[in-house]
Amino acid sequence: MKRLAGACGVQLKNSSLCPLRDDQEPSLINRVRSVVPLFREAILEHLEEIEDLYLAEGALERIRSGEEQTIPLKQVIKRHGLQR
């Protein structure tokens, strides 16, 4: 987050965003407001990655416990006509 903030020209104090007051410098307020969507996007992407990891761990556990089975790649290729 610090790297993203630094790239946008915004300094973070103690690794957290400080609340902005209306009497603060307008250019600072505008710069911070302009990076908020970037932070939001980065957080949402990270949450998606965490969700993918959670789902993959669940699938791996089901495979290891015998609840689910894997299909060999050669069989998938043959089944779907993907042979060269």
Give 13-37 pLDDT, tens digit per residue.
544 555 656 566 677 777 777 888 8
Q: Is residue 84 situated within a structural domain?
A: no
Whether the predicted pLDDT of 80 surpasses 90: yes
Instruction: State which amino acid sits at residue 16.
Output: S
What is the 3-state composition of the chain as percent helix, strand, coil, each rounded to the nearest 5?
Answer: 65, 0, 35
Q: How confident is the model at residue 60 (pLDDT cuts 50, 70, 90)?
A: very high
**Is the Cα dihedral 48, 54, 57, 62 positive or negative?**
negative
pLDDT for 38 beyond 70? yes
Residue 57 placed within a domain: yes
Domains identified in the chain, total number: 1
Give the per-residue pLDDT at 20: 56
Q: Output the pLDDT for position 23.
A: 63
Question: The pTM is what?
Answer: 0.52
User: Buried b vs exposed e over 34-56: b needs ≥16 C-beta within 10 Å?
Assistant: ebeeebeeeeeeeeeeeeeeeee
Q: Which domain holds residue 30?
A: 2-79
Q: Would you say residue 41 lies in a domain?
A: yes
Distance CA 21, CA 45 (A): 29
Q: Is 63 a domain residue?
A: yes
